[in-house]
Amino acid sequence: MISIPLHVVADSANVSKEGKLNIFGIFQRILASSFPATHPSLALVFTIEADSGDTASEHALMVDLVDSDGKRIANIDAKIKFAQVPGKKANHNQIVLLNGLNFPKPGMYEFKIIINGEERAFVPLELSEIETPKK
């Protein structure tokens, strides 16, 4: 069985030389003064966990960013393979850095994490318009 026990949006993330996953600035909402809005940089961070029986083969990973109407804003496709540890679960940390994402309107968006054609997790992200003071 493959699962996604950790999934967040953050300002940035990295993996230390000791293998520790460091996540900086987790958030669920972006404020923008107007739309369409371009967000300079964010990191989608998630951990994929696989039982020992799922580590032998390659798996299709897809991440879709969709708006509240289900319209795809961005898409990433990749293949993943786990290091085999007999009799133990395998973990694979993913850090997807996204620069210059364009959000056409305010509202709810979500990152869908799909493995082998099956949605395993989603990360909600709200885009809100802030009113700027009028002069």
pLDDT tens over the chain, length 135 residues: 899 999 999 999 999 999 899 999 999 999 999 999 999 999 999 999 988 777 778 899 999 999 999 999 999 999 998 877 777 788 889 999 999 999 999 999 999 999 999 999 999 999 999 987 766
Question: What is the side-by-side order of every strand in the sheet holding 118-129?
Answer: 29-32, 118-129, 107-115, 59-67, 72-80
Superfamily per CATH, domain 2-129: Immunoglobulins (2.60.40.10)
Is residue 125 within 8 Å of 98, Cβ to Cβ? no
Q: Backbone dihedral region of 120: left (phi > 0), alpha (psi from -120 to 50 degrees) or beta?
A: alpha
Cα(38)–Cα(33) distance, integer angstroms: 11
Domain layout of the chain by residue ranges? 2-129
Cα(65)–Cα(92) distance, integer angstroms: 21
CA atoms in the 13 A half-sphere facing the CB of 78: 10
Q: What angle do CA 72, 77, 78 make, to 5 degrees?
A: 160
